[in-house]
A = this chain, B = another copy of it.
Amino acid sequence: MQKSLSREQKRQQKLDVILRNASKAFMERGYYKTSLDDIASMQNVTKPTLYYYIKNKEDILVKCEEVTCGRINAMLDDVMKDDVSGYEMLYNFIMKYIPIITDDVARCHVKHRGQMEDPDLAKKSIHNHKDIENRVREIIRIGIKDGSIRDCNSTILAILLFDSLNGLTSWYKSDGPVKENELIEEVLKLVTQGVSGV
């Protein structure tokens, strides 16, 4: 039993590596310009081996999504259980969202969300994101109710917020010139105070 667990763990680890490498490649060269042969050779295996871990190419996107949405929802559970103002919840959400979303697998998910060829998978993907968006809208509504967030269209605000946060994924590199602390700082200031000079 001990050994069989370790085998299962190894399997999981290899899947993780596949997702990580595939994500990296998809972000650099794009989904369609990255062949399964490319991905396979990153693990020093051959293409058919991949099919031991994934159903098909599209399944890589699905699995990246599962991992990422799982993390985000767990974080939201954590943030929303605190008994603080809506504004503080939103602040905490943003602060914790950025480190999650700058990970390669998460970036891959954000870029390809809702774009599966299988319509059912695409629908499910959009649904997953809408769920998360709704939870953030709920935070915004709480903030408006308790007066900590100014009265606004919570739908539009939630979308704009996600746009700017998810946009990070296409340019932010953890080894680039912009430090993560500074980035979080600027994003939080922009979202909370805006750009106005006074």
Contacts and interface: CB of A to CB of B under 8 A. Distances in A.
Given A143-B195, A163-B170, A193-B193, 6 more contacts: A148-B197, A152-B186, A152-B190, A152-B195, A153-B186, A155-B178
Interface in A80-98: 87, 90
Contacts of A115: 30
Nearest to A177: B155
B156 A183 contact: yes
Contacts of A17: none
Interface of A: 30-33, 87, 90, 115, 117, 140, 143-144, 147-150, 152-153, 155-157, 159-164, 166-168, 170-171, 178, 182-183, 186-187, 189-198
B87 A150 contact: no
Contacts of A152: 186, 189-190, 195
Give the 7 A-B residue pairs with the shortest CB-CB distance, closest first.
A163-B167, A194-B194, A164-B164, A32-B32, A193-B194, A156-B186, A163-B164
15 contacts: A30-B115, A143-B197, A144-B197, A148-B197, A149-B196, A149-B197, A150-B196, A152-B189, A152-B190, A163-B163, A190-B191, A191-B194, A191-B195, A193-B196, A194-B194
Given A195-B191, A196-B149, A186 B167 contact: no
A173 to B, nearest CB: 13
A192 B192 contact: no
Nearest to A164: B164
Nearest to A140: B195
Contact of A33 (B117, B144, B186, B195): B117
A143 B161 CA distance: 23
A143 B198 CA distance: 12
